[in-house]
Structure 1
Amino acid sequence: MIPSIRYMLLFIPLLSFAIGCDSKEVRVRSLSTPPTEQPTANLPVELHQRNWTGKLNQGSCVHASLVNHFRWLNQYELGERWRATYSDGEWDSRLRDRLDAAGIDYSYTLKADPRFLDWASATRRGAILWWKPAHCCTFVGWVMRDGKQYAAILDNNYPGRFELTPRDQFIRLWAGYGGFALTVIHDPASSLTYRSYEVY
């Protein structure tokens, strides 16, 4: 037993020499943080839901907007279930009743309160809202262009792009369309990854 311990004690310094305890210094520097992703609820184009005609031959813009919103909030299966269950026209109180029945937490406004959209954008959740005559779209956040703030909208009649409207004009028009907006309370998708350092 004692000879084994002696051999082990001799072996440890040799092992340290073999793995190179005297390694060279690694130099690392931080890289700049990239600009914030815009819009903040930047749903990938391949996940944009197009409006569809329901059983009553009506558009399903509220449900299409909600499907887009669910997808952004990592609730893809819930979005697919919602799409398979609901279609045709919708109004805010019945939509809230249906969300309540499904046990889905949400927050909403009926008064075109811009603070609601500020919160929806700041938390990267986005929202659905009444936008354009008799239509519902997905608000995907405020964006900055040339020093001005714009509302970015995903219109389910024109998936594949975001429409921009200057903030003040947007809020005024939104109030004219009824001022309803709703956000489901779930965590949004992760921010885009970026390299924060480099070795030199």
Structure 2
Amino acid sequence: MGFLFSGVFWGIILILIGAAIIIRIVFNVNIPVLRIVFAVVLIYLGIRVLIGGPWTGSTKNSAVFQSSDMAITEDAREYNVIFGSSRIDATAKLTKENEKIEVNTIFGSSVLVISPDVPTIVKVGAAFSGVRMPDGNLVSFGDYTYKNKAFNKTAPYRVIKADVVFGSMTIMETAPREDSLESGPENKNSDTI
């Protein structure tokens, strides 16, 4: 709630009211500034309710009105991108059998990176959005399930539930960063005689 009582918020409101008065007098165009402000406050409060807890803009598993990079961890199972953008690294090795992760993108953009070596199933739910899958499919409405080549129903695997509403998500298969960093210097001079 601190933002609603900040000088920045009220400064913007006063500027908008002044601009609306000038536009109304000069151009004879009536802009309902108070209705728009009321709607923005309701949207802000709705986002706070969705996120829960204290809202500071970005945490290790949420990006709100910001851009951030996130990596999945054992202690967090839900990752949110709301009015922002994020790269979510889900290439880590499995920590437990059939672990479940939830990724939500609402009015934002995200890139979900999965490993081709970690058995993974991605269940996508899309509404008014664009979700580009590693197999080339594009999901705008409805549900889609993607299983990578390492997926085996009888072995442990990772389940990622990805919901995208009025946003975009790209799901990419890439090798984990740790492997590429470890093998990089060793193979750097492999062409020498």
Q: Tell whether the structures are fold-level matches, with TM greater than 0.5.
A: no
TM-score normalised by length of structure 2: 0.21
Report the TM-score, using the length of structure 1 for normalisation. 0.20
Q: Which has the greater radius of gyration? A: 1
Q: Which has the higher contact order (CA 8 A, sep 6+)?
A: 1
Structure with greater helix share of residues: 1
Write 1 or 2 for the structure with the bigger share of strand.
Answer: 2
